[in-house]
Amino acid sequence: MTQSSMLIDLSQDSEPEDLIQPKPPRLFSANLAHRELSSTIPLKRKSDIDSDSSSVSPFNAFTPVLQPNNGNINNTHVIFNPKRRSEPYTPSPAPESGIELSVVVPSPSAQLKREIDSAEFIPDIKLTALSQEFYPTDALEKRATRGAYPAARSVKREAIPFRIGNPGPFLTEKERKPVVDTLCESLKRKLATIKGPPVTVSPGDMKRLAQSTSSFEFINRYKLRDGVTPIGNEFSAGCSCNEICDPARCSCLTQEENSEERIIPYKTSKEDPRFWGLTPEFMQRTSMIYECNSLCGCNERCWNKVITQGRKVKLEIFHTGKRGFGLRSPDFIRAGQFIDLYLGEVITTKHADEREKAAAARNAPSYLFSLDFLVNDDGIYVVDGCNFGGATRFINHSCNPNCKMFTVSRNHGDEYLYDLAFFAVKDIQPGMEFTFDYNPHMEQVDKVEPGAVPCLCGEPNCRGQLWANKKKRRERF
């Protein structure tokens, strides 16, 4: 029997040149894709499959064999040999016995030729589960290498020449800026932050004060520390006066005991109607001043807002000699005139005891004032002006003072937190030192007790000592 052959033309499947093809992968494979055979090829009958089951497994069908014709890819024949087995099984119908099937593979399109020519062949490719480019396994080692200290560099000291010449600017004492000059500049910046008229330092005492207050900060209001909580505005109230308060009916003022007459702390000056100061009668009292606040109906120019309007006098810090630094003013101060507030850190009694004990251990002065005018229990607060405060921190003691500290309340519902204000109790000439009595309840003694804090005011009525022992008594003022 003569062997017949069948030729299948696949040129109809060739893609047109003008069709844009997606870019193939970089690894090009020449495997022949599976196609369904033409319906003109008769299918193998079931009887033939059953009869050939002993020799040919249904899972081992014919295998296409690619036979090039003289190296021309356009005339390549694919011969299906039914007797040759291949894996895996391709479920294509086997041709009848004795028929050789030839397939003409069409030539590739121009786009495919360009992609084949530009493709690169990568030999010995190793497939891994994860890409090292996106999932590097040595990332921790590389990060540790970058964060490690650099290796010590080997230097031959004997090969480096030793040069002798002029030292650099950082080694020259003449060009180096003294530390005290830096402290003076810092002190000037601190003084500039104080609100109100300028606070200056005596020209000859700038360096000494800068060294003494290097760790001191000037502030304009209290610094509330842990454990100190002011009451809210809902517990306070203001008067219902309009524009300017009426002394006869202002509800912010307190009344005399067993009388409906109100205590008026301020009055205007005969020399200057714009000046408001303490009345001579009030300066003899120990009462608290109750000023109007932001909840009142009066305006900012109200006569009962002397503390709220702030300091109006210039201040100067100077060195007194054996009594340390003091405070004075180049302005004339009238009796009853407000000078400034005493400021500092507001702390609890427990913290105040700890600070006072630490100050006594290093023989340093303390600047503690208890806010116990209205209440006197373990829950009172203490103002510490050691590290934070105002210029009034430098006012010295005198047994014949020209200033007095008064308590001022601007939030009438708070009995634990209020202001400490200095007022002049007599006329003070320009350049005269401000003084007040540290311990007005101390009695005069003929002989200073051992361990007592001596008084250095030098006044004729000097009591001789401030406190009976080194521990400062935090009296109320």
Q: What is the pLDDT of residue 101?
A: 59
From its phi and psi, is residue 139 left (phi > 0), alpha (psi between -120 and 50) or beta? alpha
pLDDT digit string, tens, across residues 202-212:
989 999 999 99
pLDDT digit string, tens, across residues 292-346:
998 999 998 899 999 999 999 999 999 999 889 999 999 999 999 999 999 999 9
Give the DSSP per-residue string, 7-43: EEE-GGGSPPTTSPPPPPPSS---PPPP-PPPTTSPP
Reduced to 3 states (helix: H, G, I; strand: E, B; else coil), residue 383 is strand
Query: Which of 115, 99, 125, 117 has the alpha carbon at shortest distance from 15?
Result: 115
> Which stretch of DSSP H or E encloses residue 191?
helix 179-192
Q: What is the pLDDT of residue 327?
A: 97
Task: Give the chain's end-to-end CA distance (angstroms, integer).
Answer: 137
Range of lowest pLDDT (127-141, 269-283, 307-321)? 127-141
Q: What is the pLDDT of residue 377?
A: 84
Residue 438 annotated among the catalytic residues of the structure: yes
Q: Quick check: 298 and 243 in contact, CB under 8 A?
A: yes
pLDDT digit string, tens, across residues 46-75:
444 444 444 444 444 444 444 444 444 444
Residue 199 forms beta bridges with which residues?
315
> Is the pLDDT score of 176 beyond 70?
no
Q: What is the pLDDT of residue 25?
A: 46
Q: What is the pLDDT of residue 58?
A: 42
82: its two tokens: 């039914």
Q: Place 32 in a pLDDT band, splitting at 50, 70 and 90.
A: very low
- What is the rounded average pLDDT for all residues in the chain? 78
| Given the residues 222, 290, 342, 416, the one annotated as active site | 342
Spatial distance between the Cα atoms of 43 and 25, rounded to a whole number of angstroms:
36
> Is the pLDDT score of 397 beyond 90?
yes
Mean pLDDT over residues 341-359, rounded? 94
- CA angle, residues 197, 203, 204, in degrees to nearest 5: 145
Amino acid at 175: E
Where do the structural domains in the chain lie, given as residue ranges? 4-118
| Given the residues 266, 367, 418, 438, the one annotated as active site | 438
> Which stretch of DSSP H or E encloses residue 389?
strand 388-389
Residue 342 annotated among the catalytic residues of the structure: yes
Query: Which of 279, 263, 387, 289 has the alpha carbon at shortest distance from 336?
Result: 279
Q: How many CB atoms lie within 10 A of CB 369?
A: 22
Q: Place 76 in a pLDDT band, splitting at 50, 70 and 90.
A: very low
> Is the pLDDT score of 118 beyond 70?
yes
